[in-house]
Structure 1
Amino acid sequence: MNMQATPGAVIQAASPAPPPFLSLKDALSDEQRLELVEYWRSITKRKWVILLLGIAVAIAAGAVAFSLPAVFRSTATVLIEPDKNKVVKIDEVYGGIGTGREYFQTQVEIIKSRDVALKTIEGLKLWEVPEFDPRKDKDDWKAKLKQAIGLTEPEVEWTDEKLARETLGKFNEALDVAPVRLSNLVKVSFESQDPALAARVVSTVAEIYVNNDRESRFKLTQQANQWLQDRVVALRQKLDASERALQAYREGQGLVNLGGSAQAIDSQQIANITQQLVQARVRRAENEGVYKEVLAIRNAKRDDYSSVAAVMRHPAVVEAKKQEAIAQQKVSELSQRYGFEHPRMVAATAELNAASQSVATQADAVATSLMRDYEISRATERQLEGELANSRGSVVAVNRKEAQLGVLERAAQADRQLYELFIGRAKETSASNDLQTQVARVVDPPVLGGKVRPKEMQIIAVAFALGLFGGVLLSLLLDKLDNTLKGQEDAESRLKQPLLTSLPILKGSDRKQVMRLAADRPDSMFAEGIRTARTSVMLSSIDSPKKIILVTSSVPGEGKTVVSTNLALAHATTRRTLLIDADMRRPAVARGLALPPGLKGLSDLTSGDATLDDCIHVLEDSHLHVISSGATPPNPTELLLSQRFKDTLRTLQERYDIILIDSPPVELVSDALVLAPLVTGTIYVVKAMDTPYQLARKGLVRLQRSHGTLLGVVLNYVDFKKAQKYYGQYSAYGQYGYGGYGYKLK
């Protein structure tokens, strides 16, 4: 071993860094984390606050609900019969009223129309009712505010017509017209603070709608009757003029009977030629493709027509190919028995050549025939086109006369049909009664309505539920925003480091003797937690019998000095232990352990002002040796970086089994980062429910980057009762109750 190496290098070589720690929570899948249980714990933690919030919201909502005026609803049912027979059947003439769902929906909109609403308001003079009086709005807080800032409005001259228009908005808000599904019924409802007024409004709306419908039908019938009479006279005159024009054209053109035999013969001839032309074009199209293929082969001066399907399908070519195949087979059979010079072989070869020549001859002949067929079909097509053009020219004049005659005949026929239709409707209307049957009626008259709002108990119940829901959401939000560490699982999950132990929060007299609590109160939960940390330290780097342990934290006030002193006292019971106070800026070890003031310490030893024996002090009533911080130096970090400090640390390591160093917090100064590479391992102290886990994680990362070895985390100031009750954190201290073993849970 190289004796010039630093103590940290020696320790690190003897004790390799442990593998990366995987917390229990990280080893579980997302489904196993039971987030619903965490939500339930968050709710139960603040259950009384949530309940009080729900009660407060319910009380406020109840006060508002009971202060609101009661509103009553009255409803009437109106039957609309769109399919009922009408006395005057003139729908086809003037457009009709219509039937079906479109008609039904139209009637519903008519009931909600502005005309029906204004007639109802004027009939009942609703502006005299306080809740609908538009003049009250002119005295509300908005008007007073405008008046206060000088935006006064001119005085309004109220008339019945203006009052009705201003009341229309509130009236429409209170009126509800709803069709009943799969029926011809309509529910007409009205809401008012006066139940009798609500019934009167509904009854008036239904009555006005029925009367309006009856009057509109009567007026429509009268207008249609007058219009029919006027139209009949005009249509009669137009019919006479059309018939006279038709007769004059026939006489002038000599077309007494245009449907004679001459027109029939011409039409039949054109039809025959047209049919023949179609057939000729089909034949020409069929032959044109073959013609182009054959012509291309001949232009290329080739004799192979195997690519022309029409040639190869011809019976003569097929037969020649068959003979060629037979000759080919014969040659193949003889070639296996005789040589090429054998007479039978020579004869078979000659037959094969003759057959092949026959195939080529037949293919050429067929190709020539197909080209001739194309030329014939093309000439025939041209001839038929000429004949068709000549035939069409002969009947052009007749067709023109026929077209004009058809126009006149259709005009006369249309005028005659329209005249007969109108004369029939006019006679029907004149002979009918002027009254129309009723198509709408009230089948369920309104009664004094029941109260619809406010529903005080329902409002209170909903408000209570909303208050509870809001409290639950607020509780979950507070827990989501809480970035402190609450227990063992939380610390391991967020810091990604093993938890060495959890130390309870101290109360009463324990806080005064906290520096020596592990020695003075060995039966306490705190002492048990320290012993657990001691065991974890002893099991870490087990190959290194002599260990140097650094204790630090993120910020002051997390209890790192308390952990250092108590852990040193716990080790001192079984091993040679030295506690070094390396926090030379804010030393607390000497004062906490009640050492005499003015003792020589680490700063004096490192600067060379004192010997090692002068700086080591034995704690009274224990086997613990202590090196205090000594006098406050101007440059503590430089002292820790000096070679003298490293040599001193190496010398101390040879004399003691365990050396515990209490260093300043990581976030304030870099002393801990300087010490971390020189020690066996580092213990990081975190204050539960106080230190943000991001801050602690940042300190751990800085220690790792400085090549320090992390042994784990000590979670300090843990309220075990609260953690077990609200966060589900179980420990041997709280779960099994140390009271049965002589320990008592504070």
Structure 2
Amino acid sequence: MKNGNEIQLADYEVAEAQEIDLRDYWERLMRRRGTVIAVALGVFVLGAFWTFIQKPVYTAKAQLLIEKEPNILSFEQVLQIESMRDDFYQTQYRLLSGRGLADTVVERLKLFENPEFVGKPEKRKKPVDPSDHVFREGLVDSFLGRLTVRPVRLTRLVDVAFEARDPKLAADCVNELAAAFIDLNINMKYAATEQATTFLSEQIKGLQTEIEQKENQLQGFEAEANIVALSDNETTVIDRLSQLNKALTEAQIERSQKEATWNGLKNVSPDYVPEAIANPLIQRLREEYVRLKRETQKMEERFQPDYPELQRMKVEMESARKSLDDETQNLVKGAYSEYQTALNRERSLEAEFGGQKTEAFKMNSSAVLYNGLKVEIQNKKTLLDSLLRRESETGVEARLKGLRTSNIRVVDRARVPVRPSSPNKRRNLVLALLLGLGGGVGLAFLFDFLDNSVKTSEDVERYAGLPTLGVVPKFTLEGANKAYAYGRRLKAGKEPARLEPPKAAGAVVEAAPFVAEVGAAERPGSIELVPHYFPNSRLAESYRSIRTALLLSSADDPVKTVAVTSALPGEGKTVTVSNLAVTLAQSGKTVLVVDADLRRPRQHRIFKVKNTFGLTTYLTDSIELKSVVKSTEIPNLFLINAGPVPPNPAELLGSEKMSRFIRMMSEECDHVLFDLPPMLEISDALVLGAKVDGLVLVVHGDKTSREALKKAREKLDLLKVRTVGVVINNVDMPRHGAYYYKDYYHGYHKS
């Protein structure tokens, strides 16, 4: 078991590793902060432009209350708990957002003439035709696209919203939609009542016409037959005829009632059973079916379709529906059977009544006919009274439609909106900024992932297996310790203060016996010779760190002759040679810089000497070494420039005379630095690299590819060239998280 100290140490190491990972991500973002800022700014500007050119859109809102049928409910119905997810409410929501209702609103508000829906007249390609089916469907689609129907959770309320550029039009559309929805509900609710009322009205009208005709016929018969009274013998026949007529009248009334009942029930389905049906079995089956359907819907929201309990509930629901369907059909069939029975009884009584009339005619044709007409008139009047009572009952229910009694009410009418709902400028700008930042961060990480350049010492160790001697910051105003300001003052004729090595009174700096005399070089305004002109700068300190690392890299086997090269051109190996030579000379050592880049020499420009003769002259002609070694304005630092460009640089560098030159210079000087050409393009660096004590490879931060670094290491290993280490040049320190270096160094010198 681990003790407490070990556990705390492990936790600390994990926390430190996590902190390093987060810092690494932050440093990557800082390296690509330009990308992040550019993308964020671009997306923000585009979002702002899009937001401010958008026309304002207004949203009008209304709220509806949808209840069940507003009938007087029984005690059992009051106690019944209904789910808000019942099919009744889902049907209402579908109707509210249906195409039929939308088309009604389009017609009522004449939206086919509104410029917001059909455009301005001058921009239309053809005149508007409201009867065009395609045009009409497009209007309905446009209307529904602006409409939003959203039920309020755990209530019977529904929010209806409509968007339009005209605030008044938005409010009118919502209010008209609510009115049309209430009208649709009322029409659907009272459709059956209107059918029954129409049927009774037709029956009453026909019966009244028949009664009028019969009364006219009776009056005509009385005048024609001169009937005054009936005899005793005729009374029995008339009484019998009267009884049959009364029975026939009752049968007709019963048949009419049964027919009306059957007409009201023949369109009954399990999903629609009128409240007037007081059949306890059907009501119980209806309640059972609704309960099973509600439970099935709840289970479908929670379980998969193949869940056994769900399957069982579906089977029970279908069984309950079938039972309700069967019982409903039995009810319809029963009503039809009762109607047929009443009709057959009526016909039977009519036949018997006709026979009795024939017998009465035999006895007293005129009297019987008279009484028959009288009784028939009376019976028709009785039937008329029954139909009038039934019509009055249905008329009361039908008149409720005129009162617009509905189970749907408008709780909150839509008002003309004052402020636009979109575009939401603040939200859009925030979203654009967040989207831009997210896209910029993502793009920055993508670029960082695709970037295969060398950036840190870890990259050098990972891809080349070489130690890093040091990192040279990018030459900036702050990094050069006001070096750029020096350049500007230099043009104005002013000289900056600089540190120089102390000299004794009257002391004279003597050149080496083999050195040719040259004039003093002008002070540059760039990174060249920074350790000499700006010894307190961060750049000078970087080169001093490289000098220390170089000297300590091989304490047992000191490196006197060092070749400096790079994988590719433009990586700063020439400046590295000159500045490293300055730091070595400042330590009191005799340093010789040899410009061995015979193809594109540059050291003579840095030290401001002529390149008329130099190393190539010494290697090709029989001249003294003193004539090619030149002193510089920097104490203890000497230069051999390249000289004229030869036709065979590689042969000269690999010659025996060059080997003798290296041995001789290593004996005369403490350090000899060779500036070599890039090694991946030409072989000069490899030829000379095998002759010196060690080689320093310079890479350009954020520029030299990892593949180039690996290939350079492979070539060095192939020729068994001793590589001391790598210098990472031109590194943007803030981008690579080196704030501590800058703050510490300047703080140290300030104190």
Conserved in 1, the CA contact under 8 Å of 2:543 and 2:579?
Answer: yes
Amino acid at match of 1:736: Y
Say if 1:425 and 1:45 are closer, same or farther in 2 by CA, change over 3 A.
farther
Secondary structure at the residue paired with 1:585?
coil
- Per the alignment, residue 378 of structure 1 pairs with none
Question: Structure 1 residue 215 and structure 2 residue 184: aligned?
Answer: no
Q: Which moved more, 1:224-233 or 1:622-631?
A: 224-233
- Per the alignment, residue 30 of structure 2 pairs with 41
2:407 aligned to which of 433, 440, 447: 440
In 1, Cα distance between the equivalents of 2:32 and 2:559? 49
In 2, Cα distance between the equivalents of 1:699 and 1:173? 65
Question: Structure 1 residue 559 and structure 2 residue 553: aligned?
Answer: no
In 1, Cα distance between the equivalents of 2:193 and 2:739? 91
1:176 aligned to which of 148, 152, 156: 148
1:71 is displaced (CA, Å) by: 1.6
Say if 1:199 and 1:639 are closer, same or farther in 2 by CA, change over 3 A.
closer
1:215 is displaced (CA, Å) by: 3.2
Conserved in 2, the CA contact under 8 Å of 1:545 and 1:657?
Answer: no
Question: Structure 1 residue 586 and structure 2 residue 554: aligned?
Answer: no
1:101 is displaced (CA, Å) by: 1.4
Question: Structure 1 residue 81 and structure 2 residue 55: aligned?
Answer: no
Bigger RCO of structures 1 and 2 (CA < 8 A, at least 6 apart) = 1
Question: Structure 1 residue 532 and structure 2 residue 545: aligned?
Answer: yes
Say if 1:174 and 1:570 are closer, same or farther in 2 by CA, change over 3 A.
closer
1:444 is displaced (CA, Å) by: 1.1
- Per the alignment, residue 502 of structure 1 pairs with 471
Question: Structure 1 residue 706 and structure 2 residue 741: aligned?
Answer: no
- Per the alignment, residue 459 of structure 1 pairs with 428
1:32 aligned to which of 3, 16, 20: 20
Conserved in 1, the CA contact under 8 Å of 2:151 and 2:159?
Answer: yes
1:741 is displaced (CA, Å) by: 6.1
Unaligned runs of at least 5 residues, structure 1:
1-27, 88-97, 144-153, 234-413
1:115 aligned to which of 100, 107, 126: 100
Question: Structure 1 residue 191 and structure 2 residue 170: aligned?
Answer: no
1:612 is displaced (CA, Å) by: 5.4
1:81 is displaced (CA, Å) by: 0.8
1:56 aligned to which of 28, 45, 50: 45
Secondary structure at the residue paired with 2:695?
strand
Secondary structure at the residue paired with 2:524?
helix
Conserved in 1, the CA contact under 8 Å of 2:112 and 2:130?
Answer: no
Amino acid at match of 1:661: F
In 2, Cα distance between the equivalents of 1:490 and 1:626? 34
1:729 aligned to which of 719, 738, 748: 738
Amino acid at match of 1:459: N
Unaligned runs of at least 5 residues, structure 2:
1-15, 75-82, 200-256, 264-327, 343-386, 491-522
Secondary structure at the residue paired with 2:738?
coil
- Per the alignment, residue 680 of structure 1 pairs with 693
Say if 1:512 and 1:76 are closer, same or farther in 2 by CA, change over 3 A.
closer
Say if 1:220 and 1:554 are closer, same or farther in 2 by CA, change over 3 A.
same
TM-score, structure 2 as length reference: 0.56
In 1, Cα distance between the equivalents of 2:329 and 2:681? 108
Say if 1:30 and 1:460 are closer, same or farther in 2 by CA, change over 3 A.
closer
Conserved in 2, the CA contact under 8 Å of 1:54 and 1:471?
Answer: no
Conserved in 1, the CA contact under 8 Å of 2:44 and 2:429?
Answer: no
- Spell out the pairing of 1:233-632 with structure 2 (5 A cutoff): 420=334, 422-423=336-337, 433=394, 435=397, 440-450=407-417, 451-454=419-422, 455-473=424-442, 497-504=466-473, 505=475, 507=484, 508=487, 511=524, 516-519=529-532, 522-545=535-558, 547-572=560-585, 574-595=588-609, 597-601=611-615, 603-607=616-620, 609-610=622-623, 616-617=629-630, 619=632, 622-632=635-645
Say if 1:727 and 1:137 are closer, same or farther in 2 by CA, change over 3 A.
farther
1:552 is displaced (CA, Å) by: 0.8
Secondary structure at the residue paired with 2:158?
strand
1:99 is displaced (CA, Å) by: 11
1:516 is displaced (CA, Å) by: 4.9
Conserved in 2, the CA contact under 8 Å of 1:54 and 1:466?
Answer: yes
Count of matched residue positions in the alignment of Structure 1 and Structure 2: 509
Conserved in 2, the CA contact under 8 Å of 1:117 and 1:168?
Answer: yes
Conserved in 1, the CA contact under 8 Å of 2:452 and 2:705?
Answer: yes
1:139 aligned to which of 123, 133, 153: 123
Amino acid at match of 1:532: S
1:129 is displaced (CA, Å) by: 2.7
Secondary structure at the residue paired with 1:736?
helix
Say if 1:170 and 1:58 are closer, same or farther in 2 by CA, change over 3 A.
closer
1:86 is displaced (CA, Å) by: 9.4
Identical aligned residues as a percent: 28
Say if 1:205 and 1:33 are closer, same or farther in 2 by CA, change over 3 A.
closer
Amino acid at match of 1:32: I
1:239-290 per-position Cα deviation (integer Å, ceiling 9, x unaligned): xxxxxxxxxxxxxxxxxxxxxxxxxxxxxxxxxxxxxxxxxxxxxxxxxxxx
1:669 is displaced (CA, Å) by: 1.2
In 2, Cα distance between the equivalents of 1:214 and 1:517? 94
TM-score, structure 1 as length reference: 0.57
- Per the alignment, residue 375 of structure 1 pairs with none
Secondary structure at the residue paired with 1:599?
coil
Secondary structure at the residue paired with 1:511?
coil
Conserved in 2, the CA contact under 8 Å of 1:61 and 1:460?
Answer: no
1:77 is displaced (CA, Å) by: 0.4
Secondary structure at the residue paired with 1:433?
helix
- Per the alignment, residue 384 of structure 2 pairs with none
Amino acid at match of 2:30: R
In 2, Cα distance between the equivalents of 1:683 and 1:527? 18
Conserved in 2, the CA contact under 8 Å of 1:502 and 1:718?
Answer: yes
Conserved in 1, the CA contact under 8 Å of 2:61 and 2:159?
Answer: no
Q: Which moved more, 1:545-554 or 1:484-493?
A: 484-493
Q: CA RMSD in A?
A: 4.8
In 2, Cα distance between the equivalents of 1:706 and 1:598? 33
Amino acid at match of 2:607: L
Secondary structure at the residue paired with 2:89?
helix
2:749 aligned to which of 720, 731, 740: 740
1:144-163 per-position Cα deviation (integer Å, ceiling 9, x unaligned): xxxxxxxxxx7665559887
Say if 1:729 and 1:425 are closer, same or farther in 2 by CA, change over 3 A.
farther
Say if 1:729 and 1:423 are closer, same or farther in 2 by CA, change over 3 A.
same
1:542-593 per-position Cα deviation (integer Å, ceiling 9, x unaligned): 2224532110123334332232234334434544544322211122334433
In 2, Cα distance between the equivalents of 1:536 and 1:196? 80
Amino acid at match of 1:201: C
In 2, Cα distance between the equivalents of 1:552 and 1:100? 80
In 2, Cα distance between the equivalents of 1:232 and 1:524? 109
Conserved in 2, the CA contact under 8 Å of 1:519 and 1:569?
Answer: yes
Conserved in 1, the CA contact under 8 Å of 2:581 and 2:637?
Answer: yes
In 2, Cα distance between the equivalents of 1:64 and 1:613? 78
Conserved in 1, the CA contact under 8 Å of 2:193 and 2:394?
Answer: no
- Per the alignment, residue 204 of structure 1 pairs with 176
1:669 aligned to which of 679, 682, 688: 682
1:602-633 per-position Cα deviation (integer Å, ceiling 9, x unaligned): x3444574465665555566444544434422
- Per the alignment, residue 113 of structure 2 pairs with 128
Amino acid at match of 2:658: F
In 1, Cα distance between the equivalents of 2:101 and 2:526? 90
In 2, Cα distance between the equivalents of 1:467 and 1:419? 72
In 2, Cα distance between the equivalents of 1:184 and 1:622? 96
Secondary structure at the residue paired with 2:542?
helix
Conserved in 1, the CA contact under 8 Å of 2:29 and 2:445?
Answer: no
